[in-house]
Amino acid sequence: MTEAVELWLVRHAEARDARPGESDAARALTERGVRGARRLRRALRRLGASFDRLDHSPLLRAVETADVLAPLASATRVNAGLAREPGPEFLSDLASEVARSHVARLALVGHEPWLGQLAFWLVSGWSVREPARQPAWLALEKGGALRLRGEIAPGRMRLEHALDSETVRALARR
């Protein structure tokens, strides 16, 4: 049996709209987004969260959010798989890599709807790709986070915390 992993799924904070002719990947955090990411860092600290590793999407808004959260992590790295819909290969590669590197506490900073789809898949075992299923996932607000625990495999994790903006603000004020 695989060791239980504490997995935090974090949606990037508020980003500005793309400028004409600008790539979606180049969207930076707004000032409000930077403040939101800092609030999230304070809230996570209040919960005692720390990460052996923090992986993030290569898109600028996720990179900037990860930079704010980096003090909570022993290591950070870009994971291109976080910039697209999670598939079986992503999950298999992530689980194998986490087991090989003995990561017990991992944070993934990325985007909706993919993080929510990943969370739904990990908790329920149902892929949003299954034709018999209605599209469903656990949605994350910008700057929100979910904490899951268990084995990185479909249906093998349980949801322990869901941090929406109101909860993040309340925790950060304490």
Mean pLDDT in residue range 115-139: 75
What are the distances in angstroms from CA 55 to CA 19, 24, 34, 128? 27, 20, 18, 23
Q: What is the pLDDT of residue 85?
A: 80
What does pTM read for this prediction? 0.93
The domain segmentation of the chain, as residue ranges, is 5-173
pLDDT tens, position by position, 142-166: 999 999 999 999 999 999 999 999 9
Three-point CA angle 162, 120, 10, nearest 5°? 45
pLDDT tens, position by position, 87-100: 788 888 998 999 89
Q: How sure is the predictor about 15, in pLDDT bands with cuts at 50, 70 and 90?
A: very high
What CATH architecture applies to the domain 5-173? 3-Layer(aba) Sandwich (3.40)
Mean pLDDT in residue range 60-82: 98
DSSP state of 90: H
Picking from 109, 163, 10, 71, the residue whose alpha carbon sits closest to that of residue 171 is 163
Q: What is the pLDDT of residue 64?
A: 99
pLDDT tens, position by position, 37-54: 999 999 999 999 999 999
pLDDT of 28 higher than 70: yes
Q: What is the pLDDT of residue 135?
A: 57
